[in-house]
Amino acid sequence: MADPPSAPAPGPTLAAKLAELDSELEQLNPPRTEQRAPVQYGKRAGDHIAESTDRLTRERTAAELRRVREQVVAALERLQGGGYGRCEICGRAIPEARLEALPWAIRCVDCAAGGPRRG
């Protein structure tokens, strides 16, 4: 029972990624949001637009981070409970190259792109 020589250990990578995502989410969503100064209308229109755009961008970024975080958590669960490296949709093995590039991938390329195509 020799260890496979080239297989990367995804555990530490996933744990580090999870910590990274958590700290990024914390920065995007500071706990004291209600203390924000109210937006002042009628001052300069550009200021208000800039702030809305900034908030929208941060919400989108936070949503994307949460999406990746879910995948990292799912991958960690699979790593502990079994099934890591297998597609959650079709059950086929996820190619090693994909896992190397994306250690928290829980779907193969086909399924990640929207499900297996027929024909």
If one asks whether residue 111 binds Zn ion (CB under 5 A), the answer comes out as yes
Evaluate whether 17 touches 103 at the Cβ level (below 8 Å). yes
Q: How far is the CB of 53 from Zn ion (least distance, A)?
A: 37
Q: How far is the CB of 34 from Zn ion (least distance, A)?
A: 43
How would DSSP label each residue in 29-50? S-S-GGGSPPPPTTS-HHHHHH
If one asks whether residue 21 binds Zn ion (CB under 5 A), the answer comes out as no
Residues ≥6 apart with Cβ < 8 Å to 79: 10, 11, 14
For Zn ion, the closer of residues 48 and 98 by Cβ is 98
Q: Which residues, 69 to 108, sit near Zn ion by CB under 5 A?
A: 87, 89-90, 108
**Structure-token match 């260890």, residue found:** 3
What is the contact surface with Zn ion in residues (CB under 5 A)?
87, 89-90, 108, 111
